[in-house]
Amino acid sequence: MRLRIPEHLAIIMDGNGRWAERRHLPRIAGHHRGVEAVREVVSECRTLGVRYLTLYAFSSENWGRPEDEVKALMGLLVRYLASELNDLCARSIRFRVIGETDRLPAEVAQVLRETMERTKDNTSMVLTLALSYGSRNEMIRAVRSLAGEVAAGQLTPEAIDEERLNLALDTAGMPDPDLLIRTSGEMRISNFLLWQLAYTELYFSEELWPDFSRQKLHEAFAVFARRQRRFGLTSAQVADQDVHSEENCH
């Protein structure tokens, strides 16, 4: 079977804390080890030709975690971006952020802006971190934005369609994910890209995120390659489309 690489891969990186607790280590140790998994997955996705990689790094609900853990996570994020900037540029990876970034500490927000500015012209892959992100909040902000345009007479209610709403979301300009991976054995999407995941293939891995390796990524892609994405059509219709697509390629 032909290997099919998702154009847009989204990942819920779950299990850092449990990884540490099982080893009787502080929870932050799991997050440190999780950064190594991030490096490996980003590198492999770039090598395989993934065009968009979106990582759920810190949710809106994560602000409710113990203050010392949140502070440590913010510091880890700053150090990660500082250490990876040169590599992102060398690999021509563009960096983006989605979420309520105005809630982030000033130091973090500054490093994010600098990283996005330095990588804005890179073209090989877009790496997006979802930080202080919640999909319901994202949709509320999008609807408020559109309502403001309607109130100002800049937009009619009839003009609001899927495309217009897409443009109002944090992910504007990005295709919807083809594949979502969630680690740690949990089988839910936890308020992540609810609108964008409408037709995304879901893959749940038993591995805790710090143990998610290049090999596990390949296994997920192999499962993805075996799936038929129908988008509401029948299998026969999809097969017919694939035949016509291959004929046009020749």
Q: Which residues are catalytic?
A: 14, 62
Strand partners, 17: none
Are 162 and 169 in contact, with CB atoms under 8 Å apart?
no
Sign of torsion, CA 189 64 130 49?
A: negative
The answer to the question of whether 16 is labelled as a binding residue is yes
Q: Helix 67-90 and helix 106-119: axis angle, to 10°?
A: 10
In angstroms, rounded to a whole number, what is the distance separating the alpha carbons of residues 247 and 121?
35
Q: Is 63 annotated as a binding residue?
A: yes
65 appears as a binding residue in the annotation = yes
247 known member of a binding site: no
Does 14 count as an annotated binding residue? yes
Is 182 known as a binding-site position?
yes
Between helices 27-48 and 214-226, what is the axis angle to 10°?
50
61 is in an annotated binding site: yes
At which residue do the structure tokens 């890209």 appear?
Answer: 193
164 is in an annotated binding site: no
Residue 59 tokens read as: 């949710």
Q: Annotation-wise, does 190 bind a ligand?
A: yes
Annotated binding site: 14-19, 27, 31, 59-61, 63, 65, 182, 188-190, 201
Annotated binding site for Mg(2+): 14, 201
Annotated binding site for substrate: 15-19, 27, 31, 59-61, 63, 65, 182, 188-190
